[in-house]
Amino acid sequence: MTEPVRYQLPDRNVGLDLMRVTEAAAMAAGRWSGRGDKEAGDQAAVDAMRDVLARVPMRGVVVIGEGEKDEAPMLFNGEHVGDGTGPEFDIAVDPVDGTTLLANGMPNAIAVMAAADRGSMYDPSAVFYMNKLVCAAAVAGEVDIDAPPAHNIGAVARALGVTPGDVTVSVQNRPRHEQLIRDVRAAGARVKLFADGDVATAIAAVRPGTGIDLMLGIGGTPEGIITACAMKAMGGVIQGRLHPRDDTERRTALDAGHDLTRVLHTGDLVAGDNTHFIATGITDGDLLRGVRYTPDGAETESIVVRSRSGTVRLVHGTHLLHKLR
């Protein structure tokens, strides 16, 4: 007799509740797409996110909040969110990953958040940037953030059964990456530059069919921790090392006890087996379709992943805003 498939876990999936939070943030922020005012778009997303978060059945504490780095409106570190019932979670938020993208109406702006059991998220202690490597789990044992790009490109090529010339590496378009870009091209791989929004790009590096095989370079530490929550569920790999911008930030990190030579792996950035990653597209991108406004409301596309079950959900939402009000 065939054993029945036990599809649904018996406990509540808070990720599905949190999807309503990112949907609300995306619909609020999307109204500011292309208007040239990234602070207003970010503020709209923060307000919508905080409003819906207050009704989620959990006891959450914001461990990774955006704002200090960008002088933007924020869900601040240490803020308590949720309705005060249910499980305890560390919360990481980025109401708009890619505020400049949103302001300019460019691809890949998303509303994103992550949750993990209380006490499991890494605290970067005000070191806002880190060097990162992100790829699929198939090459987890072969890639090394300390190795030259050619080594990691070769590892990815072998895992995919292709040549280095068929590998596409995504790198943020910044002056600090000029040598990295030259090294990637010298190894024979293709470079796909992105302006902002490294969470969406990191997730795309482990999702099939996106055309991105590897992400390299220096980006935000908060975004790295959010990405680690997704990697736990999707089987991807992130390696990182804190990258202080100046001597003051270096001293802050050392005083907080950080080893700046240490390579941080997925399990270092977020511990345990109960992580959630949730994102909703604001503008069209490699990972998600952006918000579409209709006479009655809006349409959204979201991704919800959970490490405990390994389930990846792509959710198309149709929202009748007069009912939501």
Q: What is the dihedral of CA 39, 73, 196, 202, to 10 degrees?
A: -150
Q: Residue 307: pLDDT above 80?
A: yes
Per-residue pLDDT tens over the stretch 266-292: 999 999 889 999 999 999 998 899 999
Are 291 and 30 in contact by the 8 Å Cβ rule? The answer is: yes
Q: What is the pLDDT of residue 319?
A: 94
Q: Residue 103: pLDDT above 70?
A: yes
CB atoms within 10 A of CB 117: 16
pLDDT band at 65 (very low <50, low <70, confident <90, very high): confident
**What CA–CA distance (Å, rounded) separates 206 from 197?**
16
pLDDT band at 181 (very low <50, low <70, confident <90, very high): very high
Residue 268 buriedness (CB in 10 A; 0-12 / 13-18 / 19+): middle
pLDDT band at 126 (very low <50, low <70, confident <90, very high): confident
Q: Residue 72: pLDDT above 60?
A: no
Q: Comparing 36-40, 121-125, 248-252, which segment has the lowest mean pLDDT?
A: 121-125
CA angle 196–202–206, rounded 5-degree value: 150
Residue 152 buriedness (CB in 10 A; 0-12 / 13-18 / 19+): buried
Return all residues near 110 (Cβ < 8 A) that are at least 6 apart: 22, 26, 96, 97, 98, 197, 199, 200, 279, 280, 281, 282, 285, 287, 288
Give the tokens for residue 127. 């070191």
Q: Residue 74: pLDDT above 70?
A: no
pLDDT more than 90, % of the chain: 80
pLDDT more than 70, % of the chain: 94
Mean pLDDT for all residues in the chain = 92
pLDDT band at 209 (very low <50, low <70, confident <90, very high): confident
Q: What is the pLDDT of residue 66?
A: 58
Which residue did the predictor score with more confidence, 48 or 12? 48
Rounded to two decimals, the pTM is 0.90
